[in-house]
Structure 1
Amino acid sequence: MQTDMSQNPQNAGSPASDSNDQDQSIASTAPGQLRVIKRNGKVVGYDDDKITVAISKAFLAVEGGTAAASSRIHETVARLTEQVSATFKRRMPSGGTIHIEEIQDQVELALMRNGEQKVARDYVLYREQRASKRAAEQKSTDLPAPTHQVDMSVTMEDGSKAPLDMARLEHLIRAACSGLEDVNADKIITETVKNLYDGVSIHDVNTSMVITARTMIEVEPNYSQVTARLLMDKIRAEALQFLRVAERASHDEMNALYSDALKAYISKGIELELLSPQLAEYDLDALGAALDGNRDLQFSYLGLQTLYDRYFIHHNDTRIELPQCFFMRVAMGLAAEEDNREARAIEFYNLLSSFDYMSSTPTLFNAGTLRPQLSSCYLTTVPDDLHGIYGAIQDNAMLSKFAGGLGNDWTPVRALGAYIKGTNGRSQGVVPFLKVVNDTAVAVNQGGKRKGAVCAYLETWHMDIEEFLELRKNTGDDRRRTHDMNSANWIPDLFMKRVINEEDWTLFSPNDTPDLHDLYGEAFEKAYTEYEAKTRSGELKLFKRLPAINLWRKMLSMLFETGHPWFTFKDPCNLRSPQQHVGVVHSSNLCTEITLNTNQEEIAVCNLGSVNLAQHVDENGLNIEKLQSTINTAVRMLDNVIDINYYSVPQAKRSNMKHRPVGLGIMGFQDALYKQGISYASSDAVTFADTSMEAVSYYAIQASAKLAEERGAYQTFDGSLWSQGILPIDSIDILVKQRGEDYCKVDRSQTLDWDSVRAMAKKGMRNSNVMAIAPTATIANITGVSQSIEPTYQNLYVKSNLSGEFTVVNPYLVKALKERGLWDNVMVNDLKYYDGSAQPIERIPADLKEQFRTAFEVEPRWLVEAASRRQKWIDQAQSLNLYIAEANGKKLDVTYKMAWLLGLKTTYYLRAIGATQTEKSTISDGKLNQVSSGPETPAEFNQAADVPKACSIDEPDCEACQ
């Protein structure tokens, strides 16, 4: 409600208002010029000619068009026009906005002052006649009389006062509640008015409505949509006024206005150098006609507020994008190089705006802009020389500047104490450089939109591994600590075998064992044991031998205490990589789902997007036809990113153009289970994880093969696993052969006919890699589903991110409890008290308790087993958070060994919680209550004070892949 809260009459059609509506568009007026608000709310440019025409009509109506009168009328009209214009220019020398009625008042006054009483009288009578006609025409469209009578004024944007228009306020709230069950418009109206006062700003009127509705979300999830719709009124007013399309518009009016808004937005965005001029080359009428304003209604409050705060393009803190214009801008950016770009843009728009699929955050940020950096993460290998090390850090800075998340492979850098021939000195090892990397990530904060984000990887045989494990500790020499970056272990299979068999493990400096970095599988084992033999013969001096189990325990302990380093497995990443013929996977990325080759000449790039699995599940289970259609379009969009993308360093462009990898993932997995009545902690959930990912894999590979038929295979296709007819499901055989049957317990079942897809892939693939499951925290917020493959964190909690705090209540649980007559205020308080858990609440039936287990109530074996079933279909990896309740050393040991044995390539954050919660959230006291979201730590890990919280809940900066 960024407007005057008054009624909205139709166009006047008076002499000073040209009723044929051929006004100059305000979008073309320069800053500082006068603007006119018409009676329909549209803002147009001030035009002297229109005043001239209007006054001329008034004279002609009285004096006729005789030749004798013509000369006098012409001179008089010119003088009066100049007087009227001079009045407004004197009043507003820097420009401003005038209502049409003010202009007509000045025309009337000028006629009277110049002795033209007869013309003025006729002019006044005409205005009155037109006003009566408008009143009669509008009578049928007037808003209903308000049910709440409030004698209060509001302060407008220009500082003027106007009566609070309760009719419009009530209309907005009732419209926001329309079509939603169990919401009460009168309750919102009453509470909103209580928070207002005489003279309140028009901005705060809207804020009061939004805040009032959002406090009710914990009792009824549908209030989230009500809140979003009220927020939309503010968003519409802000954008429409800036674009000079209208002063305001209701939701119903937006369908008619969206096309004009798109054209004005593209024009203004290009003028302000925020959008690419290429967008103006589209047929904007066709694209505008395709916009569906009704899709504005599907947002939750969290989703819309996230878009408004962080995604919509803005100028001087004014958002100039509307939701459907935003999705179309992204679609236009991705379709820019298509042959039939209008049709493709509409196809891409429909996929995004329906929430069936969502591009990753960098794509949403930058598509269609002057610098379209659309990729999510970058993987680099750091060489073992000073010039190369600082070159890699500079690359980090440039990539981070344009919103890229970073994964750095530091294994080649020589260890502490290693000999430096050039200076005849000894190395300080990897850790001091990581401190510089940490500070660079803080300094270069992704274009000012979010923190820089980087993860350092080190192989487990590196001599610096023990100090590497302690990087995130809060104790010790702070010069050798990195509190703002992530770290991960790059673990060879041989180490895991030594741990299981309780054998010794040897640490080396990579300058003494340079080939280990590029070896994996049986070749690594052979070379590694040969180096161990050299230590025994005395040929190799710098090494350290220790029981593998001791290092393993320290790895687990540091993971629990600091959340780092994460566990990622080198051999399955390489042995199952389709691209092992042209390089080595040396690390994963920031979020551990990308497994691409890197070297000093190539920086790997990941281009991400996620299918909303919940949108593809109905009463019959997985909707295969819809899933296939979505994936065909999604893979095309992802492939387009590679050609359109802005590359800030040449190594990234070189790599991306050669191999063309993409990462199609999923989100809303938990929602899909809820829709089918399946508990996450069940064999049915594991089966669904298997079959749903099989279908995604099937159609993703098929889509890339079809693109290859149209556009050609990627450059390094020949020699790849694809070219040999070896699909991800087939590559498990390679892993088993190299690792051994006893160390690989991966399920091999399949349900689809893979022979046809195998034949297609063998002919050519457009993309070297096709699938990866990213965290999707923010894009899941936008679409209103659970992130990625995560179980529900809590059934009721407060989510904190850069947009603020948002009450999140599980709508599926609320619906199930309503059906059994169990949803009431007591249940809300019980859920608060028990931190969103249904388990301790006696009234909740056992079957619902089972279905609505929260993350820490799902045994980690179910998470690992479901991840294993997905991994067999994925050519890259997945961001897998592990939740462990009542954590202890044994549980961690079993869980991570199980992850390796079941063939996982990577794991992500460990989320651990103690047996008891020491602090409960408050009980209802009429205020919005925050449910505790911080993990507790068990006593035996008494140093676990720095356990990070889940990035999906309150780690808002970890979003490079999302």
Structure 2
Amino acid sequence: MAASAIDFAPTSPTAADSTPGYGSIHNAPAAFQVIRRNGSFSAFDPSKISVAITKAFVAVEGSGATASRRIHEAVDTLTQQIVETLSRRADPARAIHIEDIQDQVELALMRSGDHKIARAYVLYREERAQERRKVELNAHPVAQSSLKVRMQDDRLEPLDEAALEQVIALACEGLDGVSVDAVMNEVRRNLYDGILLKELGLAQTMAARALVEQEPNYAYVSARLLLNNLRDEALAYVLPGALHLSQKHSDMKYAEYFPEFVRRGIELEMLDKELGSYDLTRLAAALKPERDRNFQFLGLQTLYDRYFLHTNGVRYELPQAFFMRVSMGLAAREIDREARAIEFYELLSSFDFMCSTPTLFNAGTLRPQLSSCFLTTIADDLDGIFKAIKDNALLSKYAGGLGNDWSGVRGLGAHIRGTNGESQGLVPFLKVANDTAIAVNQGGKRKGAVCGYLETWHVDIEEFLDLRKNTGDDRRRTHDMNTANWVPDLFLERVEADAHWTLFSPDEAPDLHDLYGNAFAERYAYYEAKAARGEMRVTKTLRAVELWRRMLTMIFETGHPWITFKDPCNLRSPQQHAGVVHSSNLCTEITLNTSNKEIAVCNLGSVNLANHVTSAGIDQARLKKTVHTAMRMLDNVIDINFYTVPEARYSNLRHRPVGLGVMGYQDALYALRIPFSTPEAVRFADESMELVSFHAISASVDLAAERGRYATFEGSLWSQGILPLDSIELLQKNRKHELQVSRTSTLDWGALRERVKTIGMRNSNTLAIAPTATISNICGVTQSIEPTYQNLFVKSNMSGDFTVVNASLVRDLKKLDIWDEVMISDLKYFDGSLGPIDRVPDELKRLYATSFEVEPTWLIQAAAQRQKWIDQAQSLNLYIAQASGRKLDMLYREAWHAGLKTTYYLRSRSATHVEKSTMTRTDGKLNAVSVAVSPKMCAIDDPTCEACQ
């Protein structure tokens, strides 16, 4: 692939609306009115814009002769741009607010590159706003007291500002940097006479939310105010007629509410009757209402919108009841159910560990489908194909994410004996699978999601690469389904040797699907020789490097198909004796065997590394306790799970795989003061994953001693004493190059190896790192093993838009006394990056480097060190700021040379742009930047990423 196929120049903000058209700004027509802050109207006067910009320039550059000439030219140009923009937007029948005009001035200064001037202007606006607020408070201290609130029974009652302020004060309690007055001022701006009681609660939540960009702790204030609304809603339904138990969260008594909540859930046929047989008084006493205060707004709003039980639009499940309900569901078959439920509850409610989304959705309900991922192999006949599509629908219905292996289905032009015709290939069936995923949307909670996998030797591979393109015949496109390449080592060896590559239809080369490593290479050579003799019906030969270049071009242009590696997934699989890994899952972290008889199932959850790290290092005792309890919870899922298809039940009960992962990795690095792009960070990835792996395997051995080995243990790598670290050598024996990964270890693996051989394992697989797109939001930590996306941005998901600020960074900037309006403006302008901001020390720039500032080689090096401890794989996103064909080629070859099993999305900066949004808060100031995403890069909270977590 020529570099020019991918080379691009990043699009920077241009001087929008710069075409001359008004001549002298002083002669510009006043085509609309301006609303002043006091509500009066005045004619639009462009000269006032000119004066304001001039003052900002003079404040920075002075008023000398040279400066004056430049200022005059710049001011004239900028004012023309602003006037033209406002004129295009203005409706002659309406007026423009003065704050909207000032927003346009601020944007024009930013876009012009006059950043210091923009900074001076932002400071000036803030100073003036503060002066106005002081005057307003002094002049009208009780101006709102005459307002009325409309109660639920339609009565009007006077607004009690003192009580309102007390509620807000309780929400701010114990948080640094927040102000009751600031929230109250925001609330007042949204009040009106006759405001509904529910709207009054919403106004409080939104008021605190609007201040998050100034101080991250307002995310906690907003969550606590939202919790007040939720409590009103839930208690009114579960305990009708009861008074508030307390306005203070820490005084919230669950003793009366929780048993009635369970009874009501059973009555509504939402909760399993078995939950009613627990000692509910004991469980209610174990609930810790003070932990409600640990939520941030994004996490609690997500739970409110999509996780809490509800009926007729009324949420009647409170946060601690939610965690206990999930824990009860997972402890249902334990001997001492109450003790185990409390143990599980402690882990979840502390955010030390979080189960995957399907488990949180469905635990304790009548249909406890708790598993995250399902992997299927598609048979090469119509019955098999449409059965697989039906299975997709049934599995997706209850929140499962799907990975389909299509490599065994014959390709375009292949012979069909039954009709003596020719096959139309994979694409028509993939189109049906795509539409099925959209039709079955998991009860409206999130979109159905599936990923189709295809091996690189399949004759339909070229059409497969085009499935996500926005051009061409739409009947041969799957715009909603994810796709992934299942790449054998031999193909990349041919790429490096610039050799030829031959494509086959699997009906003529059926055993290639089940072979890997050296055995695959030998059989592939046999079929190539056969094709060369003209003995095969459907084949095609091309340069391997040309196909590779096309694969890289497509993943850059469309984000698909992802690059995953067949041989490492199989050669390092503990279950080689029991089958073949034919694909990964929706998020590329699961590597389990599939066949026509077995649908692989994996049950996921993630350890919150941020909760297990201090400035002194990893809290190993706490991590051990967390991992052992988490493994028990995941193992319980297998027996409790509601299976929608028999092949999934058969497979899961035989092999009992689980996938314990991690999240909050970047937060842990912050706590340790380790920049992402350093050898120290790679060592931490190695050290932390070794600990998680050691304790997960040890926990599985303990469970085997208590409950018995999994059925297919004998013959596995485990039974031979070959642990994940040891399996690297199996891959090395099938590679011609030296794997770029160390084999060092620090723990007593010899003793654990003997325990595994003699006692056995409860689970065929133990570890997999999922994306954690949603559960990390619930816990308020960074996703999975990802670097920080941006230090300030707006995150969009199914619950709305949320301002996200790097709280750790804010704390450090406050210590230096440089967290202010100008810093906020700088972060907006520079897309959440500290790099171009002069007054930030280089040490902080390195520590808080964002995803596109981290060289992707560091992501791969850290992932390689983790992979040596993991029996499955990792959802590894790769970020590249300045993409080119050469860089992508080097990046993915490095991933292969490092022995990685899979990669996930390629995120390219060219595919994103940050809009300096004119969306304003109620005080007229610019809100945080918003992120627009093109098809080249998945959204940071793409629903497809959530399917695992």
Give me the CA root mean square deviation: 1.5
| In 2: Cα distance, 1:527 partner to 1:957 partner | 36
1:329 aligns with 2:325: yes
Counterpart mapping for 1:763-912 below 5 A: 763=758, 764-912=760-908
Instruction: Check the 8 A contact 1:613/1:672 in 2, yes or no.
Output: yes
Describe the SS at the equivalent of 1:455: strand
> Of 530, 540, 555, which residue of structure 2 is paired with 1:534?
530
1:237 aligns with: 232
Q: Which amino acid aligns with 1:453?
A: A
The answer to whether the 8 A contact 1:378-1:404 is kept is yes
Matches of residues 191-202 of structure 1 in structure 2 within 5 Å? 191-202=186-197
Residue 265 of structure 1 contacts residue 320 of structure 1 at CA under 8 Å; is this kept in 2? Answer: yes
Give the alignment partner of residue 428 of structure 2, picking from 417, 428, 432.
432
Residues 559 and 378 (structure 1), Cα distance of their counterparts in 2 relative to 1, 3 Å cut: same
Give the equivalent residue in structure 1 for 2:160. Answer: 165
Partner of 1:596: 592
Do the aligned partners of 1:934 and 1:949 also contact (CA within 8 Å) in 2?
A: no
Secondary structure, counterpart of 1:772 in structure 2: coil
Give the number of the structure whose alpha-carbon radius of gyration is greater: 1
Secondary structure of residue in 2 paired with 1:729: coil
Map 1:299-448; keep pairs closer than 5 Å. Answer: 299-448=295-444
Structure 1 counterpart of 2:213: 218
Contact 1:886–1:915 (Cα < 8 Å) also in 2: no
The Cα shift of 1:151 comes to 1.9
C-alpha deviations, 1:721-770, integer Å up to 9, x for none?
00000000000000001113x15222211111111111111120000000
Query: In the alignment, is residue 176 of structure 1 matched against residue 171 of structure 2?
Result: yes
Contact 1:215 1:928 in 2 (8 A): no
Write the mapping of 1:899-938 to structure 2, written as runs, cut at 5 A.
899-914=895-910, 920-921=916-917, 926-927=924-925, 929-934=927-932
SS in 2 for 1:887: coil
Compared CA separation, residues 923 and 685, structure 1 to 2 (3 A):
farther
SS of the residue corresponding to residue 428 of structure 1 reads coil
Higher relative contact order structure (alpha carbons within 8 Å, sequence separation ≥ 6): 2
Spell out, residue by residue over 1:451-497, the C-alpha distance to the aligned partner (whole angstroms, 9 max, x if none). 11000000000000000000000111111100011000000000011
User: Which residue matches 2:739?
Assistant: 744
One-letter identity of the residue aligned with 2:232:
A
Alignment of 1:594-633 (within 5 A): 594-633=590-629
TM superposition shift of 1:929: 2.2
Confirm or deny that 1:960 pairs with 2:947: yes
CA contact (8 A) 2:693 2:869 kept: yes
The answer to which of 238-247 and 817-826 deviates more is: 238-247
Separation in 2, partners of 1:732, 1:957: 31
What is the CA–CA distance in structure 2 between the aligned matches of 1:264 and 1:508, rounded to whole Å?
A: 63
Q: Structure 1 counterpart of 2:946, which letter? A: E
Q: CA deviation at 1:654?
A: 0.2
Equivalent residue for 2:939, pick from 943, 946, 950? 950
Matches of 2:306 and 2:433 in 1, distance apart? 26
Alignment partner of 1:554 is 2:541: no
- The alignment status of 1:663 with 2:667, answered yes or no, reads no
TM-score of the two chains, using structure 1 as the length reference:
0.82
Counterpart among 127, 132, 154 of residue 149 in structure 2: 154
> Aligned partner of 2:416: which letter?
I
Q: Distance in 2 between matches of 1:205 and 1:915?
A: 40
Give the distance between the partners of 1:463 and 1:250, measured in 2 at CA. Answer: 67
The question of 1:673 aligning with 2:669 is answered yes
Write out per-residue CA displacement over residues 674-704 of structure 1, whole angstroms, 9 at most, x where no aligned residue: 0111111111111100100000000000000
SS of match in other structure, 1:664: strand
Q: Aligned partners of 2:751 and 2:924: how far apart in 1?
A: 61
Deviation at residue 252 of structure 1 after TM alignment: 3.0
Gaps of 5+ in 1: 1-145, 936-944
SS at match of 2:643: coil
SS at match of 1:850: helix
Q: Distance in 2 between matches of 1:918 and 1:309?
A: 27
Question: 2:553·2:885 contact (CA, 8 Å) conserved in 1?
Answer: yes
SS, match of residue 814 in structure 2:
helix
Residue 149 of structure 1 deviates from its aligned partner by: 6.5
Superposition deviation, residue 947 in structure 1:
1.1
Q: Name the CA distance, whole Å, in 1 between partners of 2:777 and 2:649.
A: 31
Q: Once the two structures are superposed, what CA deviation does each residue of 1:614-666 show, in whole Å capped at 9, x if it has no partner?
A: 00001211110000000000000000000000000000000000000000000
**What does 1:284-299 align with in structure 2 at a 5 Å threshold?**
284-299=280-295
Whole-Å Cα distance in 1 between the matches of residues 667 and 197 of structure 2?
Answer: 39
Q: Does 1:455 align with 2:451?
A: yes
Q: Within 2, Cα distance between the matches of 1:791 and 1:254? A: 34
Describe the shift of the 1:918–1:278 C-alpha distance in structure 2 as closer, same or farther (beyond 3 A): closer
Alpha-carbon deviations, 1:487-530, whole Å to 9, x = none? 00000000011111111110000000000000000100000001
- How much does 1:150 deviate? 1.2
Q: 1:863 to 1:251 in 2, by over 3 A?
A: farther
Q: Where does 1:72-111 land on structure 2 (aligned, <5 Å)?
A: none
State the Cα distance separating 1:919 from its structure 2 match.
Answer: 5.0
The CA distance in 2 between the partners of 1:494 and 1:916, in whole Å, is 35
Change in Cα spacing, 1:921 to 1:848, as seen in structure 2 (3 Å) is farther
Q: Distance in 2 between matches of 1:566 and 1:929?
A: 35
Deviation at 1:914, TM superposition (A): 3.1
Misfit runs of 4+, over 2 Å: 146-149, 245-257, 914-930, 932-935, 948-952
Contact 1:148 1:166 in 2 (8 A): no
Change (3 A) 1:395 1:918: closer
Q: Distance in 2 between matches of 1:853 and 1:480?
A: 41
Where does 1:627-706 land on structure 2 (aligned, <5 Å)?
627-706=623-702
Higher mean C-alpha displacement, 921-930 vs 292-301 = 921-930
What does the per-residue CA deviation read over 1:299-343, in whole Å, with 9 as the maximum and x for residues that have no partner?
A: 000011001001000000100100000000000000000000000
Deviation at 1:892, TM superposition (A): 0.4
Q: Who is 2:474 aligned against? A: 478
Which residue of 730, 741, 755 corresponds with 1:760? Answer: 755
Superposed displacement of residue 539, structure 1: 1.8
Q: How far does the alpha carbon of each residue in 1:575-614 deviate from its partner, in whole angstroms, 9 at most, with x for none?
A: 0000000100000000000000000000000100000000
Task: Mark the runs of 5 or more structure 2 residues left unpaired by the alignment.
Answer: 1-140
Shift of residue 254, structure 1, vs aligned partner: 6.1
Cα distance, 1:191 vs. partner?
A: 2.3
Preserved CA contact (<8 Å) 1:412 1:517: yes
What is the alpha-carbon distance in structure 2 between the residues aligned to residue 831 and residue 443 of structure 1? 41
Instruction: Give TM-score, length-normalised by structure 2.
Output: 0.84
Q: Which amino acid aligns with 1:554?
A: R
Identity of aligned residues (%): 63
Tell me, yes or no, if the aligned pair for 1:885 and 1:915 is still in contact at 8 Å: no
Please report how far the alpha carbon of residue 877 of structure 1 lies from its aligned counterpart in structure 2 after TM superposition: 0.2
Tell me which residue corresponds to 1:73.
none
Equivalent residue, structure 1, for 2:87: none
In 1, Cα distance between equivalents of 2:616 and 2:833: 29
The whole-number CA distance in structure 2 between the counterparts of 1:619 and 1:905 is: 32
Does the Cα contact within 8 Å between 1:303 and 1:781 map onto a contact in 2? Answer: yes
Equivalences, count:
805
Contact 1:237 1:249 in 2 (8 A): no
